[in-house]
Amino acid sequence: MRKLSLDAVAREQLKIANEDASRRSAKTVFGGHEHVLRQSVIALAEGAVLADHLSPGEATLQVLRGRIRLNAGKDSWDARTGDLLDIPDGRQSVEALEPSVVLLTVAKP
């Protein structure tokens, strides 16, 4: 068993995002190619966007800090610290309404 502080990872990734030209940073904290389940902490500086993309499987997005907007087609949902969003099938994008960190959980088919 392994214990990990998501708060510490969130602080570290947000610092990197604020200093990086891309204005974002990510770290896989569980899983990867050899697992069905993958969890990644993604930090976005204010105004940063994860461009339109397809999800590789069932997925959720938990806001660890900040406020984000999930866009999917003509629909959008705002979420803030503590909120959990089910990511719909199809294309979506995420934008940071303020400095934000999310936990992306994906179960690959």
52-105 tens-digit pLDDT: 877 777 999 999 999 999 999 899 999 999 999 999 888 899 999 999 999 999
> Are 78 and 59 spatial neighbours (Cβ–Cβ below 8 Å)?
no
As a whole number of angstroms, the distance between CA 48 and CA 68 comes to 10
For each of the domains in the chain, give its residue range(s) and CATH number, in order of start: 6-107 (2.60.120.10)
**Mean pLDDT rounded to a whole number for the chain:** 93
Other C-beta atoms closer than 10 Å to the C-beta of 61 total 22
Answer whether 0.85 is exceeded by the pTM.
yes
User: CA–CA distance from 75 to each of 68, 72, 84, 91, 100 (Å)?
Assistant: 14, 5, 16, 11, 21
